[in-house]
Amino acid sequence: MMNNGSESKIIDGRKLAKKIEREVKEDADQLRAQGVIPCLASILVGDDAASKLYISLKHRACDRAGILAKDYHLPSETSQGELTELIERLNQDDEVHAILVQLPLPESINEQEVMETIDPSKDADGFHPFNMGRLLIGNEGLVPCTPRGIIRALDEYQVNVEGKHAVVVGHSNVVGKPMAAMLLNRNATVSVCHVYTQDLNKFTSQADILIVATGVKHLIREDMVKEGSIIFDVGITEENGKIYGDVDYENVIERASLITPVPGGVGPVTVSILLEHVIKACRSSIKN
């Protein structure tokens, strides 16, 4: 049971997501008044239960924010060529402003090739090498949604990252690498750890800002974090119908100054940033 002091430490992802959604809805209403309907096309290949849930959550968020969501659900036996053909068709469709391909894809499909097929200007997830490259040189346009959401949360809670030691645990293209780049763009001192890192505790215990994205239940324990640190838990592990994060939340919260819960932390913000990207892509298409 958390006391009021603990509650004041929680980064409320649901509350922040609602705020971002309201901002997106205002933008969407303005665009609709100009005769433009912001549109996201989502593609789901196969019947993975978690992927179907994520698509459903994203579509409901689109509905709340005034964004048109087009759903393309393809069978699991869809070929690389068939998926590429659909993406190229959506690339050419002026009424579609952003494209999302839900991952993971069936093993028969090359995910990287799929990401590279999406028009960079319609890249809702920010995974295209062009957008990743722009991020690396400090030109942040359409970038991966989870790290962008974490930056938004840091801004919202008035955390200045400049000069802080930020430790990122996990070096995926989805979270770890782009997160490190965004923090470097804001003049943090960044350490990136991963499965091959020796003595993880040495790094995490020095972190002013700790971001963990491994999918390993309770990898980060109380003795591994610095007093007063700010912690973002991106990991999700399901066990016996219950969701756990990468951080031993109940114990670590006593040492943190700010921390995200799982669920209700980073996840909702990630979805709301996706909506922001649809608006950004839509406005960019109007200018062009």
How high is the pLDDT of residue 5? Answer: 57
Q: What angle do CA 56, 114, 28 make, to 5 degrees?
A: 45
How high is the pLDDT of residue 3? Answer: 43
217 part of the active site: no
Write the single-letter amino acid at 30. Q
- Positions of the chain with pLDDT lower than 70, given as ranges: 1-6, 288
Q: What are phi and psi of 121, to 5 degrees?
A: -75, -10
The alpha carbon dihedral of 86, 271, 180, 253 has a sign of: negative
Query: Which of 12, 27, 102, 123 does the annotation list as catalytic?
Result: 102
Q: For residue range 106-157, what is the model confidence (pLDDT) as tens digits?
A: 999 999 999 999 999 999 999 999 999 999 999 999 999 999 999 999 999 9
Reported in sequence order, the residue ranges of the chain that DSSP labels E, i.e. its strands, are 39-45, 68-74, 98-101, 165-169, 189-193, 209-212, 229-233, 237-239, 242-244, 256-259
How high is the pLDDT of residue 152? Answer: 98
How far apart CA 106 and CA 45 sit, in angstroms, is 7
How far apart CA 171 and CA 10 sit, in angstroms, is 25
125 part of the active site: yes
Cβ 232 vs Cβ 210: under 8 Å? yes
How high is the pLDDT of residue 1? Answer: 34
Q: Is the peptide bond before 104 cis (omega within 30 degrees of 0)?
A: yes
Q: Give one DSSP letter per residue of 154-173, joined into a string.
A: HHHTT---TT-EEEEE---T
Q: Of 147, 156, 214, which Cα lies nearest the Cα of 182?
A: 147
58 part of the active site: yes
How far apart CA 226 and CA 209 sit, in angstroms, is 9
Write the single-letter amino acid at 71. D
Q: Which two tokens stand for residue 280?
A: 């950004």
Write the single-letter amino acid at 136. L
Cβ 150 vs Cβ 181: under 8 Å? no
Query: Which of 12, 27, 58, 208 does the annotation list as catalytic?
Result: 58
Query: Which of 27, 123, 125, 246 does the annotation list as catalytic?
Result: 125
